[in-house]
Structure 1
Amino acid sequence: MFTFKNSKLKYYFSALAGILVVFFGLAGFTDINAALSKVWLTQEPLQKAEVLIILGGGIDSKTGKLSFKSQERVLSGAQLFQQGYAPAIIVAGGKVGKNPFAEAPAMAELLQKNGVPAEAIIQENQSENTWENAQNALAIAKLRRFQKIIVLTSDFHTYRACKFFRQLGGEVICRAADRDVINQKTFVRRLLSTKVLLREYAANCYYWLKGRL
């Protein structure tokens, strides 16, 4: 039976649906996610370092192909290497959950395809999240006596990533990957960028509530 209460509920659901349609329409057809990413951006002046740490950003569990966000980070890292900002690179990313593919080997392969010699690449292929990325990569850096470190990740991820590195004692320069190294202006990639960004907002809220940020 139709009641006033049901009518109000239907109105609220319709309003919410309308808001979501508008939001995802903007996300798919505009660069709103790039603007929202700047909320979490930590971008520090580049200096020459002893090692560049590139954090993984996802890999397809069926094909083993790096996500376009991972590609963005790796291609930006290759550019920094070619520009002489660091003579060595640590790629950080293992198998996440039930994914059979570790990110680090795929990242190393893409680096080599873009002019970085294999002997300059160190693979950290055990970490499953950002905290473990930082722990494991810093352990490798300490073992190799690398002290001056550049941490490279996507713009929206720099805040949390560099907080974690510093909490673990790392003296790091935080840099965001260049969005323009890969085409991100297709409808699908804009939506995927927004999905990843919303997940980062949720992660930051979670770690803030736990007192970790």
Structure 2
Amino acid sequence: MRVSAVSACLAVALSLVSGTVAAQEPAGYESPFADTLTTRIFPLFAMIRAAPGWDQALRGDSILQKLSADRGSRVPQGECAPSPQCLADAWIWTDADIALVQARLRVVMANQKHAEALVTRQMRPSGRFARYAALSDADLVAAAWAETAAAVNSVIAVYAKGIPPRYPVIDSMIFNIAAPQIVEVLSAHDAATAAQAKADDLFFDPASRYATGLLQMNERIDAGSYRPLLGGENAEATGAVAKTDWRAKPYTALLVFGHGPEDAQSRTGVMGHIRLALAADLFARGLAPFIIVSGGNVHPNRTPFNEAVEMKRLLITQYGIPADRILMEPHARHTTTNLRNCARLLLAAGFPADRAALIVSDHRTIQYIGGDELAQRNLREMGVQPGRLAPGPDRFTLAFSPDPVAFHAEPADPLDP
């Protein structure tokens, strides 16, 4: 390839990894902060820090300053009991802490300029708090804070105290909580986190830093991987989306969900191969111009293989699907988040919102996806229904129309919020 051609390709790639599209945002919103592990899981903190006037208001609040000092004094300077739980408990947001912060945030929200800077320009258009869209501005902030504080507590409970998460087989702490070394590890993390205090810290920064550090120590940084999502491996396909004549095909994309193996040597589960064969056949028959493969590093626990990456590889090498016709959604860990993350990807990448995509799977999984059991699980685990389902052209498919409510962030699921 000539140098000029390389330069042109780089220019295209750079244009795609900047701005709203690369950051996977709803139409009309562009986040004013970096797309990092911490901001993916705790977007409220990033928005507060980015909103004009908020840092000064929070630093000037004597009650919040006292709370910060009180919380800092809870961190043990030496031995404590019962250990090691006491080392982690110092960073937990108590019910009293959460209620106090809610009250102080309402005080700041009483200033209209502050309310507009945070809620009107950030929280509402970002979609990350869509579950609370019907609330007043002050109530939305209060609800988002309570949800985020509870999520910080959950990270600490799971990854410092060894409490089982919702899916313990694949999401648990990687250390043995009963091992004597865990006391030394948590004590070191306490000291290191305290030493990282910065002059411009806000009241939430120490606990946020502590929780993020726990995820890093446990090698649970999935949420920060493959970013920016619509750049990198997806850049070429994202560019093709913008040039597509959507009238030429009945559906916008074929959605294929991964099925991770429990065999550590296998890269794709048995059912995954069946789903790929079905999708490749439908693509060849012209049902949609793109295939979206969805799945993270899930089974077996801590596998190095990513379902979406492996499915894309197989579609190219075994079925001859062009790379610029395949988009990867490499984060979903469950069928619930397959749906939600595909909805986000469809909307952020510019697929037409008034046309349906087509979920492709084995016939029994299609029955599950279209049934009441998964619908109830969506609400229980994510709090939203990420789109509308309708029968597809055969028993291996379901039509799927994404709903913008899918952008609601779920910080209680830190591996894929």
Q: 2:310 aligns with which of 99, 106, 111?
A: 106
**Distance change >3 Å, CA 71–CA 171, structure 1 → 2:** same
Q: 2:272 aligns with which of 70, 94, 99?
A: 70
Equivalent residues of 1:53, 1:91 under 8 A apart:
yes
Counterpart check, 1:162 vs 2:375: no
Task: Determine the structure 2 residue equivalent to 1:206.
Answer: none
Equivalent residues of 1:149, 1:173 under 8 A apart:
no
Q: Which protein is bigger by CA-based radius of gyration?
A: 2
Q: 1:66 Cα shift?
A: 1.3
Task: Determine the structure 2 residue equivalent to 1:151.
Answer: 359
Deviations 1:43-100 (A, max 9, x none): xxxx820111011122355224312210000111011111100000100111114222
Equivalent residues of 2:278, 2:361 under 8 A apart:
no
Q: In 2, distance between residues paired with 1:162 and 1:145?
A: 25
State the secondary structure of the residue aligned to 2:327. Answer: strand
Q: Which has the higher strand share?
A: 1
Deviations 1:108-150 (A, max 9, x none): 0111120210000000110100001011011001112323210
Equivalent residues of 1:50, 1:149 under 8 A apart:
yes
Equivalent residues of 1:89, 1:121 under 8 A apart:
yes
Letter in 2 for 1:156: R
Counterpart check, 1:83 vs 2:285: yes
Q: In 2, distance between residues paired with 1:100 and 1:118?
A: 22
Letter in 2 for 1:169: G
Q: In 1, distance between residues paired with 2:320 and 2:388?
A: 28
**Distance change >3 Å, CA 132–CA 104, structure 1 → 2:** same
TM-score, normalised to structure 2, is 0.29
Equivalent residues of 2:370, 2:389 under 8 A apart:
no
State the secondary structure of the residue aligned to 2:387. Answer: coil
Structure 2: 5+ residue stretches without partners: 1-248, 379-383, 398-417
Letter in 1 for 2:321: V
Give the root-mean-square deviation of aligned CA atoms: 2.5
Counterparts of 1:47-196 in structure 2, within 5 Å, are: 48-59=250-261, 61-96=263-298, 97-113=301-317, 114-146=319-351, 147-163=355-371, 164=375, 167-170=385-388, 173-174=391-392, 176-177=395-396
Q: 1:167 Cα shift?
A: 2.9
Letter in 1 for 2:342: A
Letter in 1 for 2:279: G
TM-score, normalised to structure 1, is 0.55
Runs of 4+ in 1 over 6 A off after TM superposition: none
Q: Which moved more, 1:139-148 or 1:65-74?
A: 139-148
Letter in 2 for 1:128: R
Equivalent residues of 1:72, 1:177 under 8 A apart:
no
> How many equivalent pairs are there?
132
Letter in 2 for 1:119: D
Deviations 1:7-32 (A, max 9, x none): xxxxxxxxxxxxxxxxxxxxxxxxxx
Equivalent residues of 1:61, 1:99 under 8 A apart:
no
**Distance change >3 Å, CA 154–CA 70, structure 1 → 2:** same
Higher RCO by CA contacts (8 Å cutoff, separation 6 or greater): 1
Q: In 1, distance between residues paired with 2:253 and 2:341?
A: 14
Equivalent residues of 1:149, 1:171 under 8 A apart:
no
